[in-house]
Structure 1
């Protein structure tokens, strides 16, 4: 970021985050922004207070913030987590049509034998399995909302994302006016935007009427159908500008420290997409910043490369966990999806004013000096020192992390791999040497007041890496019951209710365990 570039406003950064959420939903960019415009129009019609309207805006903008955090579970049951989320917009989540939808999407894209096995497991207790997954989603959304500083009201409202007006929703079966009005408005706006885009205004109206009193609040539906055309952005409107103009705190500025806090939170949010990437963005940012100082980069370039480190993997959200979690060789189509993720990162970040240089650096984190990288195949002079440093930091940190297709490399092996890539002209030798010089091999101890025992600390680190109780028991030569008891005590001590909350705690306190 250059010295003359103004810092983005808070709402601009959160709007950029909403575009990343769109990717995980399989929706076009600015879906959540358009939904927020619809929701605020409904809030005015319903006569909601200024505070309620503010809650409506941010609830709608970020209501699916937890969706990527349970991508691993979605992929386990449904194969392509993004496709099933996209298609779920067209189905009322109730009764036989929804059951048919679930059955039709179990282990989507997997071989028939795998589909049969997963179907048998899920159908033994479909509602219980879904309730567990949805409870995890809602708890994750609340944790992430707190992490982003959205306030306790929005945090509490997000727990009702999957509830239905008729009480048939999950995870708690809350009904009627017990569901916050902010969520009842957001629910209609979210699905109406999709149906209007696909089937026109009358299609959105037909959907709302068919779900009136079931999924959706009748009062909100009636306010919507009274004059639906006026609620949707006009064809010539720019949804980004329109949504930002009606934001409740549209002029709230960010200083450099608060911006960094927000970008760090977004990086943590992105890393929850896959258990094996937890802490990746923080570590890349720290390596890249330290290496930039080592090489004497300017303060502006150092800030930009650190921020790019936190944000470089935002586009990962737009690629299914069915691809990220594949242990075998990728097909040509799957590899193309992987190659797209830096482009998607750029697509999100370039929408945020003031982050132009950060976006350019982040987009290039898989580019190579010899032109063999992606997404653009940039080479040589097209890659500045910040881009070269970030690529080296990403390569080193990734090597220290497990992947479904390989074991974790120890630091010495990771260093050898980087040097070999520098020798081949893939990575810049000077950037590689700077990253290795600042990497360090000793883990940093963090003082904590959580009273965790050494065994609980060890188990928390493995939970954060995505291991289940059975895997942890096997690794530590303990009974599964003993591990479960340790996990329950650990959660109670740190105030977590699910894996995502525990993972964020482990990340913030330096407890993410390597997986050998």
Structure 2
């Protein structure tokens, strides 16, 4: 796999974290590359500019927890980056006006006082820290030293008033200068067209931007921004990668995935190490379920990247101590879908996104984001969902302490009993976590032995109350079983249930507990499913 695909996918998550339309970073990369070509830069310089433009801002979610703590919505805060010149008084005032945003006036006043006393220390060096973390990730991904240095200087400004403020003028790597003008002119062009982009470049030439680079942009703006919205942006950016492309072996691919996932987990202190923990659980669970090597590898990698969509949800939600409101829950329900969208453009990453998109779906159709029925949730997603739930319960959250291993196992098995999670997936995950696995007898579509009993009676037209009587359970429990069965096998009526039962061999002629053969031997009872209860004394249903 080309590293550019992986970094480009990460950039889509960065877009969401900045409140920008997806492919903002991809478009800024195209602008930077067209500038580099117009300026006649060497191939090595173009390669550095390409990867630097893709990597800009990757570290900006690392202190989202602090951003949300002081300013309410970290994504809304970062979206204001493009409204005012960096470091200006207007930018500082706009930031201060968001202190405690989203809270009652008294709370905002308290936040303001606390910020004045100690909170400003959280902001000191924040932007410099972003570039330092971005540089570290570039190194972990195996990008060249030139790219690492350029990403580390991505917020330096031509006049020396940038961050960390160690470089100015021509001392700033050319790749950094190109990436910065590409980033800001992309937003200006998207909002106000070519004239707005040219106006911005001229206004900030000599302060934020390299004046020579700004001059080239203004002189060739029509060509540089031409067709940004018309082309297939992903294909155009991946196709524009300079010839010095970085290709990954499978082991390097896995290392890069982990580096990115652990970087994403920095978004919240409550999520640190979550991706690695989930990946380890699903890897061991896949082995116990007997999955093949390829399927196991795909599942494990999906476990690594399943949380990328969290970048698109504010830490004001992830780190909230109280109950979530309806609107906040809607944002949470979107994050598996966002993961799928981030990974969908790459043919190598798309299968991982398809699994991750269904990790919060549940067998009874109560999950999200699509409320899929049990029959539509693949085994890989069921395992990933169980691993994600177990790992999350073992971690602290703002509204609760971490559960003990026993408590987490109990909660997962309750989900199985309630018909929301698959027993085989849960037991495989719990076994991977070191719990003693419960021996379960399951049939097709994850049906339990009791559900098979109910299905066989439903298929034969036995009424709900009669089923309850024969199985010695309540009518309400019977109705719940029927609902779960229909969800698991993907049908909505008795006819569909009957066809499923016949096709899966669940409706042979009833056998007595034992049958004597002609030679006097006792024929064994079926091992796959328990026999139906005796119908002696029951009424025929219509």
Same fold by TM (over 0.5)? yes
Match of 1:354 in 2: 348
Tell me, in whole angstroms, the C-alpha distance in 1 between the residues paired with 2:143 and 2:117: 38
Retained in 1: the 8 A contact 2:30–2:237?
Answer: yes
Aligned: 1:171 with 2:164: yes
Deviation at 1:359, TM superposition (A): 1.5
Instruction: Give the alignment partner of residue 50 of structure 2, picking from 35, 57, 61.
Output: 57
Match of 2:300 in 1: 306
User: Which one has the largest radius of gyration?
Assistant: 2
Tell me, in whole angstroms, the C-alpha distance in 2 between the residues paired with 1:42 and 1:304: 38
Match of 2:517 in 1: none
Tell me, in whole angstroms, the C-alpha distance in 2 between the residues paired with 1:118 and 1:48: 49
Match of 1:259 in 2: 253
Tell me, in whole angstroms, the C-alpha distance in 2 between the residues paired with 1:301 and 1:148: 25
Match of 1:185 in 2: 178
Aligned: 1:340 with 2:334: yes
Tell me, in whole angstroms, the C-alpha distance in 2 between the residues paired with 1:89 and 1:372: 40
Tell me, in whole angstroms, the C-alpha distance in 2 between the residues paired with 1:68 and 1:233: 31
Change (3 A) 1:233 1:70: farther
Aligned: 1:284 with 2:278: yes
Instruction: Give the alignment partner of residue 95 of structure 1, picking from 83, 88, 91.
Output: 88
- Higher helix fraction (1 or 2): 1
Retained in 2: the 8 A contact 1:400–1:414?
Answer: yes
Tell me, in whole angstroms, the C-alpha distance in 2 between the residues paired with 1:77 and 1:170: 21
For normalisation by structure 1, the TM-score amounts to 0.81
For normalisation by structure 2, the TM-score amounts to 0.77
Tell me, in whole angstroms, the C-alpha distance in 2 between the residues paired with 1:56 and 1:125: 38
Aligned: 1:412 with 2:406: yes
Q: Any idea what SS the aligned residue of 2:66 has?
A: helix
Match of 1:236 in 2: 230
Q: Which has the higher contact order (CA 8 A, sep 6+)?
A: 1
Change (3 A) 1:59 1:403: same
Q: Any idea what SS the aligned residue of 1:68 has?
A: coil
Q: Any idea what SS the aligned residue of 1:236 has?
A: coil
Q: Any idea what SS the aligned residue of 1:69 has?
A: coil
Deviation at 1:111, TM superposition (A): 2.7
Q: Any idea what SS the aligned residue of 2:125 has?
A: helix
Change (3 A) 1:35 1:114: same
Tell me, in whole angstroms, the C-alpha distance in 2 between the residues paired with 1:233 and 1:411: 57
Aligned: 1:29 with 2:4: no
Change (3 A) 1:255 1:159: closer
Query: Which structure 2 segments of 5+ residues have no match?
Result: 436-542
Aligned residue pair count: 435
Match of 1:379 in 2: 373
Tell me, in whole angstroms, the C-alpha distance in 1 between the residues paired with 2:147 and 2:353: 29
Change (3 A) 1:54 1:250: closer
Tell me, in whole angstroms, the C-alpha distance in 1 between the residues paired with 2:161 and 2:247: 42
Change (3 A) 1:311 1:204: same
Change (3 A) 1:293 1:347: same
